[in-house]
Chains A and B, each alone.
Chain A
């Protein structure tokens, strides 16, 4: 099939669907009519989009952890423990399933049973199949989302949405570039059009499924305009397939003004671009990810990182915050550690909730800067695609116009290099082929020069490396020792 930003013809979708459902035996259990009936039978309290809509209307920030283990009963116990302290539930999918390596996931399930503990970093939903996934959903009372990192997530979507999950994270860019090495961008965009079309089919039948492009990308010094441009593209692609509930995300960079400006500009820009393509009946919300880079090993220090992210999540007006844990430096947390992260987050959110971050010249300038940068990049994407944002995306990555720092994908140029300025905001050190206006680039250059002077060294790759390690070593900015 040729990639264009057009709603997939139903006949073509159903033809493709036959193949998708045959890629692993559990696909055979999925029946769309039965799935819709099951989704419609769920209580409103489990409808993810509704929880977000209510939070958005009342100005609350909801908190959601990440969590997933190899076996079903253990996964249920984990989520039942977490739902006592969080607002929204996840089911994080293991890394083998994310690459459609279901045989490896099966071996992981077997070895986990033998070891008496999970040896997988998430829940292998495809292998467990529809009935077992539904058992997970039916054991819970709060809305539950599938969170993963899957370039081809078609079968996973079929099984989990039929099972009663009411939100699905990911997108053709955000679940390829940071999560794969050799996956074709054209194919991942096509495969995610399928996922969005499936969500659109549920929507047509009265079932609202929330869709959330993955905001933080590589989670490492990603400038807001990069993740915003990609989030907006994925939002547009989802709307085109009939999605109505969209949550756009952003990963905390660390400088308060830049982070608040990022969430505010993300919402405004999304409305601008969605409406320019003629969409007006959608629900938009935002998600702020607590720091996605390296964490301090010391748990008290980790709580500090978690709480700083919570302050900014609340002040920025994000609808949802994704919560880290004190075990982050070591990988997968226990349920108890996960609850500690959520408790710390909630306490902070509650204390900041009524407070309003004042408008200021600094904040307005940062918002205006991000908007100019995003528009410059998206203008070029549309131009390269001759008006088609999907076509333009593939060409923009090939040209380095869209360029995600520190991403593993071969189709990503990796020529643009960010570094922090003297106040810790993420700026452009080497522009690669990113089409920012000259005065914007000069502004970035001046800010980096100011830091370089303060540190008495030239900006170089070492400065970037120092920034990458800084938070795990108790500072925001990687100053020389």
Chain B
């Protein structure tokens, strides 16, 4: 299945009754790629995140569940996305996310924002340790599954704004 098909599938899966509001600031209609990495089939949070980021004004390319690193990167290249938002709730996040930043650089996405969130490791571990682990892996922001979803949307707006101000974006 091509990437375009994957995106079409994700859009077809969008729930009835979902609404998105136009972003107030045109800079904040930035495209972001969203998905659940690896062999993770948890679809519920993904559908909620799609709605939350869309309502916050972002253009969301939702790849749904079971997305490989290369599928995330292909979609980001194809759509000119400014950020990749990686979810994982099933415990294999540590294995699935290994080398993601290097792979982005290898594929020419030198300065894309990388966010990760969910239950990223096996078992109940101190979040500060999990965060440190994923920051060291090259992620820009790391969130626990319990985060209030207004936090990642406002941080993303802030991070994108900072990049635009410093001319970091491509």
Report A117 CB to chain B, min CB distance, Å. Answer: 7
Given A329-B146, A414-B15, A461-B17, decide whether A406 and B124 contact each other with a Cβ distance below 8 A.
no
| Contact with B39, one of A101, A111, A327, A331 (Cβ below 8 angstroms) | A101
Q: Is the CB of A119 within 8 A of B92?
A: yes
Provide the bound-state CA to CA distance between A99 and B40, in Å: 10
Whole-angstrom distance between the alpha carbons of A188 and B13 in the complex?
20
List which B94-142 residues lie within 8 A (CB) of chain A: 94-95, 119, 121-125
Instruction: Report the separation of the CA atoms of residues A329 and B89 in the bound assembly, to the nearest whole angstrom.
Output: 10
Given contacts A181-B66, A327-B123, A330-B123, A95 and B39 within 8 Å (CB-CB): yes
CB neighbours (8 Å) of B121 from chain A are 331
With beta carbons under 8 angstroms apart, the residue of B95, B122, B145 that contacts A329 is B145
Number of A residues whose C-beta is below 8 Å from B? 49
- Alpha-carbon distance between A240 and B40 when the two chains are bound, in angstroms: 32
Interface status of A178 (Cβ within 8 A of chain B): yes
- Of the candidate stretches B26-34, B43-51, B154-162, the one touching chain A is B43-51
CB nearest neighbor in B for A414: B13
The chain A residue with its CB closest to the CB of B65 is A408
Known: A98-B39, A121-B90, A414-B13. Contact between A330 and B145, CB under 8 A? yes
B164 within 8 A of A: no
- B-contact bits for A457-481, CB 8 A (1 contact / 0 none): 0001100110010001000000000
Kindly report which residue of chain B lies nearest to residue A108, judged by CB atoms: B95
Would you call B4 an interface residue if the criterion is a C-beta within 8 Å of the partner chain's C-beta atoms? no
**Cβ-defined partner of A332 (8 Å) among B16, B41, B66, B123:** B123
Q: Which residues of B lie under 8 Å from residue A329 when comparing CB positions?
A: 145-146
In the complex formed, the residue of B with least CB distance to A115 is B94
How far apart sit A432 and B15, CA to CA, in the bound complex (Å)? 11
Say which size band chain B's interface belongs to. 35 or more
B44 neighbours in A (Cβ, 8 Å): 218, 220, 293, 406, 468
Is the beta-carbon distance between B124 and A331 smaller than 8 angstroms?
Answer: yes
Identify which of residues 77-100 in chain B touch chain A, using a CB-to-CB cut-off of 8 Å: 89-92, 94-95
Query: What is the distance, in angstroms, from B64's C-beta to the closest C-beta of chain A?
Result: 6
B17 touches A460 (CB 8 A): yes
Most buried by B among A329, A334, A408, A460: A408
Question: For chain B, what secondary structure do more than half of its interface residues adopt (helix, strand, loop), or is it mixed?
Answer: loop
List residues of A (149-202) whose CB comes within 8 Å of B's CBs. 149, 178-182
B19 → chain A closest CB, angstroms? 7
Residue A33 at the chain B interface, CB threshold 8 Å = no
Interface: A223 (CB within 8 A): no
Given A329-B145, A329-B146, A408-B66, are A107 and B95 neighbors across the interface (CB < 8 Å)? yes
Inter-chain CA distance A96–B64, complex, in Å, is 17
Looking at the assembled complex, report how far the CB atom of A364 sits from the nearest CB atom of chain B, in whole angstroms: 32
State the A residues within 8 Å of B (CB).
94-96, 98-99, 101, 104, 107-108, 111, 117-121, 149, 178-182, 218, 220, 293, 297, 327, 329-334, 337, 406-408, 410, 414-415, 417, 429-430, 432, 460-461, 464-465, 468, 472
What are 21 A-B contacts defined by CB distance under 8 Å?
A: A94-B92, A95-B39, A95-B90, A107-B95, A108-B95, A119-B94, A121-B122, A180-B66, A181-B41, A182-B9, A218-B44, A220-B44, A330-B119, A330-B145, A331-B123, A333-B123, A406-B44, A408-B13, A408-B43, A417-B15, A468-B48
Give 6 new A-B contacts, CB below 8 A, not counting A327-B123, A331-B124, A410-B9: A149-B41, A218-B43, A406-B44, A460-B19, A461-B51, A464-B17
